[in-house]
């Protein structure tokens, strides 16, 4: 730590093997991203950090996970799992069990830094194929052993916790292969554990890798893209950064294959059908509570990056920016693939992060009446066929101009693109200095967006010395989402938990959905019955009870 | 009947009140549409009709429905229904019971012409509001009386049959009002029984009727548009003629309100959400088997007919037309709202119907190698924002040209538009001459379209003297639908039934879905378990059993 500028000496050291840090650290072990000088200055100022505050105050979690946690599964069952999946694919050391039962919420990380070992599975299995999964689920059903499914571990909703122990099935070790590619139908069928980058790489390089005529894209790029699986996207209803054009994960799924205690099945492979309620829809978002998603058939799209048109605009205030975004979403010239609308606080931070504050551009904006503390950035890109994306770009310019937006070129998009998948690395660095950072998100209609925004933000800002950056990044004719990023300092996990749960309360009370794309897990579970109402929760319970009469599939997930 | 040209003297007389004919006749009682001279010539020729064949051979159904059919519901229950819904809203005369238990399949019509009275409800109720529906469902649940829901009666799948009697709730009498209109969110909430024309009229005239700033459209125009209800569209998963752009009914639904034996609820009103499997999806297509749909909130779109661009192309063969349609659906310039792809037989009939055969245009086409018996018509229109629809039109032209399609202007669309809602009237006229006409339809992937087309068509054409016209009219990147229209003569209902069920067999065996937009009803029900597999049918049964433990809701519907 350099006293001079109060900038910490960021840790850039791969975590020790089998350490708690290796469990919670984001992404690749040897990759790091520290806050830029600009961003760190904002944090120091807004969080009112003194020199001593900038010293590390919470634990690094460098301790090795001890290997002595008891196992509630009997030896004969362990033997049976070994016979099914093979000796090499069964683990019961505490580190493995902790690793595959941990997600990436702030609370997960705080607990791991404190060397907490709780809610872990008894056994970790890496099934080799669908048949292994069938045998495991069948055995667990017979022996009433809980089954948890781990895609790639990016859950931020305690989706991987195993409060009753049991087994965790790790899908991305072996169940990560392509099953079929159909260029005529523009679909690809993959095992659920295929990771985002492999999936996209196959499609982008389809001529070389699949003998295809054209290049394709999956169109799904969540911030966790590099460390999430295709099955996870579907099971927890994720959304990618380009969802406004390509659709949310649920829109991309043509069919799914499931293994449940009540049997295995593959949903129908039709572009549309009127054969009653669709199992393909009923299973989406079931988060492992009905069964194990083993394979998915997804829509794919032509990969035409040469047609991408980037844009950005600065608006005098949030209301004008919201109006422009709503008009864009309802104007029927097609949607931009990416659209990101920041509130003034996120905009101010972005100006500092991107080194724009105080620049000539900044001065010009101020001259034009676009002032810090008010001005709001809206940016994005159009994709698709060449004239289509050009027209989307042209029409967006028109609408933004009409709403007093100042065109700022595609520059901010280029800045954003650099950090689009790597920003999560910054969290570990900030946490090392005791700066907590977490996010909650919600979907909302246009009608209710300002109420939700104001009331959730004001609750967050009531906490002293707290940054609250808000943006919307998934757009529909009927509304959008709000994504709240809060950065603060707190001494105790309990204090953080109370604060964070308070935000969920405010979201639920102000017409926001409990989640737009993070899923339910065990974090939102306590609110589910209030949010959906008893009748709808009872219906979900009935479906759960059909597929899983003994409640072994992800017990407590979804609040079921 | 004029012997000279073998053209029948079409009946243009409103059916007698309370006659069988008044039950089956399509549409308005005093509206008629007879086959054009061209179409009639095709039928005479293809069906090999002699002068005597052109005389009426099956019954007109002009007899009055007798009023003496027994009722299985006890007097005290009838009294209770009367107390709930009011004396004026309860009927138990046979005519009313028959009317609201009859759909529009060929078999329904043949039975009615034979004065058959079967599978009718015991009582017809016209609930005045949601509270009436709640009380009725509650009483029926308590007394184990079957409940059927009648939207507007356009079912072609025996969806309205009451094999175990019970009550039929008629939704479009009173439950047909607008509940809310939200211009900011572009949604409208209506009671389930609102009819298509009223719905569209409200939206088209939103400035005058709703005080809106703009005009809107619902974007849903099934052939039954004039005689179907918004609730029916959703409950049976309908598709409109402009679905390729606006989406199928299931894509248009934001939320639904249901009354079920297990309780009443309204699904969540979010543009998207990740809060587990969505009840809004689970209920769509439940065809009254889970509960009564009382209200829906639908997406609406800007009404901009000034931007419509019509087009049509003639292709040398079906394969090239399919290739063009697939490329259009996958090219990512946005979809045309209407796209209709006819096979050669439908194209030949259209050429004759529209009086084009033998014209200069016809000669030019032949000169260009576009021959009858091979050439295929593809036509449609683009909608949306002005530059968007222009670009869709321009890109479609490019693709069609590349696939050897000859541009034929928007003329065929204008011809088609005239008959788009009135063609069903022709069926009654043809039936009067003993010419049977029915349709079956299916969705299919691009990969399987030719197999499905060839095998279903060849089965239909095996029957002597039969017209089989096929088209696709709902397009997706992953596939389309095939709509088979068959016109033939048969003496007995049994013969027709065997033939028609044989077509369903061929569809199911050749990778077609059991239905693309007609729904399941009781017609497809026997195939459902084979089509979906036992595991998926068991899941639907479990959901049914949750909402309706005694099986009173539309018993036998969906095969549940």
The predicted-structure confidence for B340-353, as pLDDT tens digits, reads as follows 999 999 999 999 88
Q: Which residues contact A358 (CB under 8 A, 6 or more apart)?
A: none
List of chain A residues whose C-beta atoms are within 8 Å of the C-beta of residue B288: none
Chain A residues whose CB is inside 8 A of the B262 CB are 535, 538-539
**Partner residue opposite B279 with nearest CB, options A271, A480, A536:** A536
pLDDT over 60 (residue B2): no
Residue B168 CA to chain centroid, in angstroms?
A: 20
The pLDDT value recorded for residue A7 is: 79
Are A560 and A154 within 8 A, CB to CB? no
Measure the CA–CA gap between B223 and B240, rounded to whole angstroms: 7
- CB pair distance less than 8 Å for A477 and B536: no
Whole-number Å distance between alpha carbons of A503 and B146: 47
B437 has a pLDDT exceeding 80 = yes
Q: Do residues B25 and B428 touch, judged by C-beta distance below 8 A? A: yes
Q: Give the tens place of pLDDT for each residue, B98-128.
A: 999 999 999 999 999 999 999 999 999 999 9
Residues in chain A predicted with pLDDT less than 70, given as ranges, are 1-6, 54-58
Judging contacts by C-beta atoms under 8 Å, the chain B residues touching residue A514 are 273, 275
Entry pTM:
0.97
Q: How far apart are CA B236 and CA B554, in angstroms?
A: 13
Q: Please give the distance of CA A19 from its chain centroid, rounded to a whole number.
A: 24
B183 has which bridge partners? Answer: none
Residue closest to A251 by CA, chosen among A296, A196, A212: A296
In the prediction, which pLDDT does A51 show? 78
Enumerate residues 6+ apart whose C-beta is below 8 A from B31.
B422, B425
DSSP secondary structure string for all residues of B75-113: HHHHHHHHHHH-GGGEE-SHHHHHHTT---SHHHHHHHH
DSSP output for A153-180: S--SSSTT--TT--EEEE-TTTS--EEE
Give CA–CA dist A205/A221, Å, rounded: 17
- The pLDDT assigned to B355 comes to 81
Tell me the nearest-neighbour CA distance from B345 into chain A, angstroms: 25
Q: End-to-end distance of chain B based on CA atoms, in angstroms?
A: 47
From the CA of B184, how many Å to the nearest CA of chain A? 6
pLDDT of residue A56: 55
Question: What is the reported pLDDT for A492?
Answer: 87
How many helices (H) and strands (E) chain A has is answered by: 22, 19
Residue A76 and residue A78: Cα distance in Å, rounded?
5
> What's the pLDDT score for residue B285?
98
CB contact under 8 A, A391 and B391: yes
Work out the angle at residue B94's Cα, subtended by the Cα atoms of residues B108 and B177, and round it to the nearest 5 degrees.
80
Interchain proximity A330–B186, CB inside 8 Å: yes
- Average pLDDT of chain B to the nearest whole number: 96
Instruction: Name the burial class of residue A101, with classes exposed (0-12), middle (13-18) and buried (19+) by CB atoms within 10 angstroms of its CB.
Output: buried
CATH architecture of B178-302: 2-Layer Sandwich (3.30)
The CA distance from A51 to A54, in Å, is 5
Segment B290-297 shows an average pLDDT of 98
| Token representation of residue A465 | 């010395």
The 10 Å Cβ neighbour count of residue A525 is 19
Torsional class of A37: left (φ above 0), alpha (ψ -120 to 50), beta (otherwise): alpha
How crowded is residue B549: how many other Cβ atoms within 10 Å of its Cβ?
A: 11
- What are the angstrom distances between the C-alpha of A526 and each of A523, A532, B510? 7, 11, 47
* B281, closest residue in chain A (CA to CA): A281
Domain map (residue ranges) of chain A: 75-173, 178-302, 305-419
**Residue A1: what pLDDT?**
40
pLDDT band of B260, cuts 50, 70, 90: very high
Contact criterion met (CB < 8 Å) for A277 and B283:
yes
In this structure, are residues B150 and B171 in contact, taking their beta carbons and an 8 Å threshold? yes
Vertex A373 angle, CA A372 and A379, to 5°: 70
> What does the DSSP 8-state code read for residue B405?
P
Q: How many residues would you count in chain B? A: 560
What's the rounded Cα separation, in Å, for the pair B405 and B325?
11
Distance CA(A102)–CA(A109), nearest Å, equals 9
- Hey, are the CB atoms on A532 and B446 less than 8 Å from each other? no
How many A×B Cβ pairs under 8 Å?
A: 291
Distance CA B507, CA B455 (A): 8
Helix boundaries (H) for A267-372: 279-283, 318-330, 344-353, 360-367
Please state the rounded mean pLDDT for residues B77-83: 97
State whether residue B129 is helix, strand or coil: coil
A266 near A228, Cβ under 8 Å? Answer: no
Please indicate whether, in this complex, the C-beta atoms of B184 and A331 are within 8 angstroms of each other.
no
Quote the pLDDT of residue A402. Answer: 98
CATH class of B75-173: alpha beta
pLDDT band with cut points at 50, 70 and 90 for residue B37:
confident
Helix (H) or strand (E) holding A395: helix A386-402
Residue B276, min C-alpha distance to chain A (Å): 5
- Pairing, β B216-217 against β B178-182: unpaired
CATH fold label, B305-419: Alpha-Beta Plaits (3.30.70)
Is residue B121 within 8 A of residue B148, CB to CB? The reply is yes
Closest chain B C-alpha to A287 CA, distance in angstroms: 7
Select from A274, A323, A334, A474 the residue whose CB has the most chain B CBs within 10 Å, as the one to mutate to test that interface.
A274
What is the longest distance spanned by two Cα atoms in chain A? 76
Whether B326 sits inside 8 A of A184 (CB atoms) is: yes
Closest residue in B to A558 (Cα–Cα): B276
Beta-carbon separation of B265 and A238 below 8 A: no
B344-353 vs B411-419: helix crossing angle, rounded to 10:
80
Tell me what pLDDT residue B59 has.
87
Average pLDDT over residues B192-221: 98
Token pair of A316, please? 């005098």
| Residues of chain A contacting B533 with CB distance shorter than 8 Å | 265
- Asked if A75-173 and A178-302 have one fold, the answer is no
**Residue A82 Cα distances to A8, A95, A118, A142, B140, angstroms:** 47, 19, 24, 16, 54
Rounded to 5 degrees, what angle do the CA atoms A151, A153, A159 make? Answer: 90
- Scored b (16 or more CB within 10 A) or e, A312-345 reads bbbbbbbebbbbbbbbbbbbbbbbbbbbbbbbbb
Long-range contacts of B219-223, Cβ-Cβ distance < 8 Å, separation of 24 or more: B219/B245, B219/B246, B219/B247, B219/B252, B219/B299, B219/B300, B219/B301, B219/B337, B220/B196, B220/B246, B220/B249, B220/B252, B221/B196, B221/B420, B221/B421, B222/B196, B222/B517, B223/B420, B223/B421, B223/B423, B223/B424
Give the HSE-up count for residue A318: Cα atoms under 13 Å, Cβ half-sphere.
20
B264, B270, B287, B531: best to mutate for the A interface, most A CBs within 10 A: B270
Name the residue of chain A whose CA is nearest to B268's CA. A532
Q: Closest Cα of chain B to A94: distance in Å?
A: 30
Tell me if B91 sits within 8 A of B170, measured CB to CB. no
Selecting from A239, A273, A513 the residue whose C-beta is nearest the C-beta of B268 gives A513
Q: Do the beta carbons of residue A482 and residue A441 sit within 8 Å?
A: yes
Structure tokens at B90: 């309860």
Q: Which two tokens stand for residue B76?
A: 């005290």
User: A147-150 and A167-170: which strand pairing?
Assistant: parallel
pLDDT in tens, B439-455: 999 999 999 999 999 99
Q: What average pLDDT does range B166-177 have in this prediction?
A: 98
Chain B residue numbers touching A213 (CB-CB < 8 A): none
CA dihedral angle for residue A138, residue A143, residue A148, residue A149, rounded to 10 degrees: -20
- Put simply, the answer to whether B236 touches A285 (Cβ < 8 Å) is no
User: What angle is formed at CA A236 by the lines to CA A234 and CA A238, rounded to 5 degrees?
Assistant: 70
- Name which of A457-461, B170-174, B351-355, B506-510 the model is least confident about: B351-355
Mean pLDDT across B209-234: 98
| Measured CA distances, A537 to A546, A559, B289 (Å) | 14, 9, 19
A144 vs A164: CA distance, rounded Å: 11
**Is B547 in contact with B291 (CB distance < 8 Å)?**
yes
Q: Do B447 and A478 touch (CB under 8 A)?
A: no
Separation between Cα atoms, residue B110 and residue B72, nearest integer Å: 26
């Amino acid at each position: 730590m350099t006293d001079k500028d109060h900038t910490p000496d960021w840790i850039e050291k791969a975590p020790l093997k089998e350490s708690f840090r290796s469990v919670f650290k984001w992404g690749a072990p040897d990759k790091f991203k520290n806050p830029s000088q600009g961003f760190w200055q904002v944090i120091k100022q807004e969080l009112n950090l003194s020199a001593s505050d900038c010293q590390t105050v919470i634990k690094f979690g460098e301790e090795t996970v001890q290997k002595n946690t008891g196992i509630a599964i009997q030896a004969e069952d362990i033997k049976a799992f070994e016979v099914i999946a093979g000796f090499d694919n069964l683990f019961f050391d505490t580190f493995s069990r902790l690793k595959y039962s941990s997600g990436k919420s702030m609370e997960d990380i705080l607990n791991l830094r404190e060397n907490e070992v709780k809610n872990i599975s008894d056994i970790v299995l890496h099934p080799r194929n669908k048949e292994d999964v069938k045998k495991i689920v069948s055995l667990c059903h017979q022996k009433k052993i809980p089954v948890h499914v781990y895609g790639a571990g990016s859950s931020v909703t305690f989706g991987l916790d195993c409060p009753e122990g049991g087994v965790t099935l790790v899908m991305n070790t072996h169940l990560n292969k392509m099953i079929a590619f159909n260029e005529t139908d523009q679909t690809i069928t993959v095992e659920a554990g295929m990771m985002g980058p492999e999936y996209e790489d196959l499609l982008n390089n389809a001529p070389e890798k699949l003998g295809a005529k054209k290049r394709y894209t999956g169109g799904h790029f969540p911030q966790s893209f590099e460390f999430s699986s295709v099955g996870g996207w579907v099971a927890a209803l994720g959304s990618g950064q380009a969802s406004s054009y390509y659709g949310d994960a649920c829109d991309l799924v043509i069919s799914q294959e499931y293994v449940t205690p009540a049997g295995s099945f593959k949903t129908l492979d039709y572009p549309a059908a009127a054969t009653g309620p669709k199992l393909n829809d009923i299973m989406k978002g079931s988060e492992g509570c009905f069964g194990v998603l083993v394979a998915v058939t997804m829509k794919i799209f032509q990969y035409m990056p040469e047609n991408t048109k980037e844009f950005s605009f600065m608006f005098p205030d949030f209301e004008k920016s919201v109006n422009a975004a709503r008009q864009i979403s309802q104007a029927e010239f097609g949607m931009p693939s990416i659209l990101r609308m920041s509130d003034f606080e996120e905009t101010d931070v972005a100006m500092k992060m991107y080194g724009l504050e105080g620049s000539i551009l900044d001065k010009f904006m101020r001259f034009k009446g676009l002032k810090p503390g008010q001005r709001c950035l809206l940016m994005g890109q159009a994709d698709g066929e060449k004239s289509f994306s050009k027209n989307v770009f042209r029409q967006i310019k028109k609408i933004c101009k009409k709403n007093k937006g100042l065109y700022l070129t595609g520059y901010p998009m280029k800045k954003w693109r650099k950090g689009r998948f790597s920003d999560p690395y910054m969290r570990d660095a900030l946490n090392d200095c005791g700066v907590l950072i977490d996010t909650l998100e919600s979907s909302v209609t246009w009608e209710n967006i300002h109420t939700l925004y104001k009331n959730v933000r004001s609750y967050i800002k009531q906490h002293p010395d707290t940054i609250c950056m808000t943006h919307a990044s998934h757009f529909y004719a009927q509304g959008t989402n709000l994504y709240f990023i809060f950065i603060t300092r707190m001494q105790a996990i309990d204090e953080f938990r109370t604060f964070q749960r308070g935000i969920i309360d405010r979201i639920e009370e102000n017409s926001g959905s409990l989640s737009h794309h993070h899923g339910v897990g065990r974090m939102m579970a306590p609110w589910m019955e209030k949010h959906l109402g008893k009748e709808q929760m009872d219906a979900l319970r009935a479906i759960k009870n059909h597929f899983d009469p003994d409640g072994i599939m992800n017990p407590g997930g979804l609040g079921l």
